[in-house]
Amino acid sequence: MKILVAVKRVIDPYVKIRVKTDNTGVETQNIKMSMNPFDEIAVEEAVRLKEKNDAHEIIAVSIGPDASQETLRHALALGADRAILVRIERHLCSLNVAKILQKIVEKEQPQLVLMGKQSIDGDNNQTPQMLAALLDWPQATFASNLTVQEKTIEVTREIDGGLETLAMPLPAVVSTDLRLNEPRYASLPNIMKAKRKTLDIIECDALGLTLKEHIQIISTMPPPSRSGGVKVSSVSELINKLKFEAKVL
């Protein structure tokens, strides 16, 4: 089985972000960037499927500026076999990302597409579902367990009330939740090896897609700040405050 894994370069999850003073977005200059944590889980799952001989090839794909090559090299160091960068400078909505991925899927013909359930910058949680819709493939979102049989997969999903298990035929799109696995670290030899793996760069314009603008970003603002409160010295003072000051008890 061939697996396609989509990865995104985002601001590192441990960075405290700053909204630009002109409210056009958040500051990304000279800020530490990483692979979106959910995508790391998707790569790890693909590598594990390969180690179990459920998969024979893993292709990592990213859409974005030149710098996204770094993210793809990381995916290669973690165990992906080759990588594709679809180069584009401008910001894309999830639907346009899904349309680009659809082109790559049609070209590469994977049986499984693994993606993170959401990117931690836009927090949209849309692209896997949209890709599945465009391909008319079944979808399994928020996966916390995945078993591959011959022509089907069984996926346990994290839902609000607990867990749900679905079985679906391949090809399919699966989006990963945090508890699917614990991603490994890339070892130095693997990082060195990754430098020699194939990374193809495709210009987005060469895909022959007409990408319509669906969403216009008007502004990005900092959230209303929460003023720090007071420290109380005892349990009885706390109960008192909750009852008579905040009136929530």
**Binding residues for other proteins restricted to 162-181, rule: CB under 8 A:** 162-169, 177-179
Closest CB to other proteins among 185 and 189? 185
User: Closest distance between other proteins and the C-beta of residue 192, in Å?
Assistant: 32
Residues 103-162 that bind other proteins (CB under 8 A): 117-118, 120-134, 138-142, 144, 154, 157-162
Residues 24-53 that bind other proteins (CB under 8 A): 26
Binding status of residue 216 toward other proteins by CB under 8 A = yes
Check if the beta carbon of residue 9 is closer than 8 Å to that of residue 62: yes
**Residue 136 CB partners (closer than 8 Å, separation 6+):** none
Binding status of residue 222 toward other proteins by CB under 8 A = yes
Buried/exposed 195-228: b ≥16 CB within 10 Å, e otherwise:
eebebeebebeebeeebeeeeeeeeeeeeeeeee
Alpha-carbon distance of 228 to 235, in angstroms, equals 19
Closest CB to other proteins among 168 and 207? 168
One of 4, 6, 11, 146 touching other proteins (CB under 8 A) = 11
Alpha-carbon distance of 139 to 220, in angstroms, equals 32
**Residue 214 CB partners (closer than 8 Å, separation 6+):** 93, 95, 96
Binding status of residue 95 toward other proteins by CB under 8 A = yes
- Reading the block at residue 14, the tokens are 């441990």
Alpha-carbon distance of 200 to 38, in angstroms, equals 23
Count of chain residues binding other proteins (CB under 8 A): 78
User: Closest distance between other proteins and the C-beta of residue 204, in Å?
Assistant: 18
Closest CB to other proteins among 79 and 128? 128
